[in-house]
Structure 1
């Protein structure tokens, strides 16, 4: 068998990935809220690309859970249902519980210092969308500090949907949000530094529940 017949020809997908990056960023900054329609014609005009890369970029985002494409409605920014929220929360909780155990068992002082620095940066944030971004970056750092590659990859598989969930949360209410989130993360860091698994697990669960309560009580 020739080398040529063993694998399919490579495709250049850089443009579609760039389109996906730009639309994702627009969603994360609040330019497109959950439920907003993403029209191929408008997006191709704004980004000065043909509709092909836009369509492919939207498919990337659909696989991430940020966009839903229906033949009769086109592409929409995902609106999370009650079942979506429950599933996402249960999976996130399972992943974070393992991450907490891993961090407490083996994270270095340098890795814990990085977590503390990420949490401290929240004190200077004045925009809710930027706070959501910082929140996600903190949890990225927790999974990185776990030293568990497959666990970090599992988190990466849902992080965009968690980001969308937190955007949904601030879309419903930002009362007290900018004040409480930095404090909550400082408490998470303190529990991890003390290597206190029970306290850390409780605090991480409470942190998740605060957001869930806002979304489910709306």
Structure 2
């Protein structure tokens, strides 16, 4: 199997997008080595473009580079999970409490409806909607620095959630629609204390599920 060739733009962003998609599709699993020469050949771009693309992915926390050891997809360790989900819980709490833009909230409602309608399309499809839901909540805050903070952990969250559903898909499917429907209703409601607790617990329940798997492994 080889990666689809990038459009001949010579852009680091294009290379980063293709490599990120390949990681999310499982072509490069956690811990996998990413060799510039192979990626450049598969993507039909220069090694310089690949190098810059990998640097973008490293800033997202999705890959890690070390001197004389090359670049690897991040692994999913208990420490990584604890750090990322703890940060995410604080960010999600603030985003939920400050999400007010009506257009973004309308998009949020549409995504919840799509989740309910698409429940039989599989966990990977629902995860894409899950991440899109949170994208719209952050967008609804209008807080550019909060949105940037979310973007800094977004790719890691996506990768960790993929690992979660790979190990216990039924648990994810049983929760995804219910939890996001509840969050959407609370964001539009007036009980700010309950919203804050629910937004944090939504993240921590995912953290606990993934940590249980890692402990069993």
**1:58-69 map, 5 Å:** 58-69=54-65
How far off its partner does 1:155 sit? 1.4
**What residue number does 2:107 align with?**
114
Unpaired runs of 5+ in structure 2?
1-8
Partner of 2:127: 132
Separation in 1, partners of 2:69, 2:114: 40
Residues 72-115 of structure 1: CA distance to partner in whole angstroms, max 9, x if unpaired? Answer: 44221111332222222222122122222212xxx154443221
Aligned-residue CA RMSD (Å): 2.0
Does structure 1 conserve the Cα–Cα contact (< 8 Å) formed by 2:89 and 2:204? no
Find the residue that maps to 1:30 and give its secondary structure.
Answer: coil
SS at match of 2:72: strand
Match of 1:162 in 2: 157
Distance in structure 2 (CA, Å) of the matches to 1:108 and 1:66: 30
Q: How many Å apart are 1:39 and its aligned residue?
A: 2.4
**Are 2:50 and 1:54 equivalent residues in the alignment?**
yes
| Cα displacement string for residues 11-60 of structure 1 (whole angstroms, at most 9, x for unaligned residues) | xx952221111101111223222122222232222112232222221122
Q: Alignment partner of 1:76: what SS?
A: strand
Secondary structure of 2:11's counterpart equals helix
Instruction: Please say which structure displays the higher CA radius of gyration.
Output: 1
Aligned with 1:22 (options 4, 18, 25): 18
The equivalent of 2:70 in structure 1 is 74
Match of residue 208 from structure 1? 203
3-state secondary structure, aligned to 1:120: helix
Q: Is the 8 A contact 1:36 1:76 kept in 2?
A: yes
Rounded to whole Å, the distance in 2 between the matches of 1:149 and 1:59 is 22
- C-alpha separation in 1, matches of 2:103 and 2:59: 35
Q: TM-score with structure 1 length normalisation?
A: 0.83
**2-side partners of 1:173 and 1:32: how far apart?**
20
Partner of 2:175: 180
Cα distance change of structure 1 residues 110 and 57 upon mapping to structure 2, 3 Å threshold: closer
**Does structure 1 retain, via aligned residues, the 8 Å contact 2:101–2:141?**
no
1:10 paired residue number:
none
Instruction: Kindly report structure 1 stretches of 4+ aligned residues shifted beyond 6 Å.
Output: none
Q: Which residue of 2 aligns with 1:94?
A: 90
